[in-house]
């Protein structure tokens, strides 16, 4: 797993202005794909070449932060600080990404709209394990990816809504309520939504 941390972004660049980068995607209640039903995704990059995001509300039950550090041989163990782990999406599930506040950065970190960063190097794991690192962060294994124009098409099909993120939705540990809380920011009742509603 350690090698996969070295070049995890696969050529995605920070998105140009006017895209959905930095927004939260809320799966519509009618989402048929079980991998994305009732998910909340932070969209980290969105451009004509595609899109990439991290699911925020699927906690990893079988792996702890300390267990991950052991797998990639990062010390100290036990760590001085632990962070939340989530299943970030169905693509390359052995790759790790840390979504974090912009008060910390390293070589290779990618800026995400809205004052966020995305880092996939072992440096950030070591910094967190030592008690430092970014003020707020979450570690995702895997990601959600879309090809050119695919996400835009899914929006046209009313598969997603989007909303501005806030620190709680991004980083708190209350995964079970994130999807409903995100809808509540839009003042939307999930029971009132249907796949034939107007475009958001």
The per-type count for the chain, helices as H runs and strands as E runs, is 5, 9
Domain ranges of the chain: 2-186
Q: What is the dihedral of CA 105, 111, 115, 120, to 10 degrees?
A: -50
User: Radius of gyration over alpha carbons of the chain, in Å?
Assistant: 16
- Phi-psi label, residue 26: left if phi above 0, alpha if psi -120 to 50, beta otherwise: beta
Cβ atoms 39, 90 nearer than 8 A: no
Q: What is the per-residue pLDDT across 40-83, written as a single tens digit (0 to 9) for each? A: 999 999 989 999 999 999 999 899 999 999 999 999 999 999 99
Distance CA 200, CA 189 (A): 14
Architecture of domain 2-186: 3-Layer(aba) Sandwich (3.40)
Average pLDDT of the chain, as a whole number: 88
Residue 188: per-residue pLDDT: 80
CA angle 177, 116, 25 (to 5 degrees): 40
Total residues found in the chain within this entry: 200
Q: What percent of the chain has pLDDT over 90?
A: 80
Cα four-point dihedral sign 131, 133, 138, 143: negative
Predicted TM-score of the model (pTM): 0.89
Q: Does 1 have pLDDT greater than 50?
A: no
**Which among 169, 105, 110, 112 is positioned nearest to 133, based on CA atoms?**
105
Confidence of residue 18 (pLDDT cuts 50, 70, 90): low
**Which among 19, 58, 24, 21 is positioned nearest to 181, based on CA atoms?**
24
Q: What is the per-residue pLDDT across 112-157, written as a single tens digit (0 to 9) for each? A: 999 999 999 999 999 999 999 999 999 999 999 999 999 999 999 9
Q: Does 196 have pLDDT greater than 50?
A: no
Q: What percent of the chain has pLDDT over 70?
A: 87
């Amino acid at each position: 797993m350690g090698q996969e941390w070295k070049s995890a972004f696969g050529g995605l660049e920070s998105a140009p202005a006017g895209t959905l980068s930095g927004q939260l995607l809320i799966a519509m209640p009618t989402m048929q794909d079980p991998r994305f039903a009732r998910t909340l995704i932070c969209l980290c990059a969105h451009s004509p070449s595609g899109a990439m995001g991290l699911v925020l509300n699927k906690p990893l039950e079988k792996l702890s932060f300390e267990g991950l550090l052991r797998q990639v041989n990062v010390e100290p163990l036990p760590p001085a600080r632990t962070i939340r782990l989530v299943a970030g999406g169905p693509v390359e599930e052995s790759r790790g990404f840390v979504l974090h506040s912009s008060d910390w950065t390293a070589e290779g970190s990618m800026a995400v709209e809205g004052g966020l960063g995305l880092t996939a190097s072992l440096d950030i794991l070591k910094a967190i394990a030592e008690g430092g690192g970014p003020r707020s962060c979450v570690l995702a294994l895997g990601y959600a990816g879309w090809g050119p124009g695919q996400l835009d098409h899914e929006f046209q099909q009313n598969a997603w809504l989007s909303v501005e993120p806030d620190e709680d939705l991004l980083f708190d540990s209350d995964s079970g309520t994130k999807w409903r809380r995100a809808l509540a920011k839009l003042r939307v009742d999930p029971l009132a939504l249907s796949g034939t509603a107007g475009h958001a």
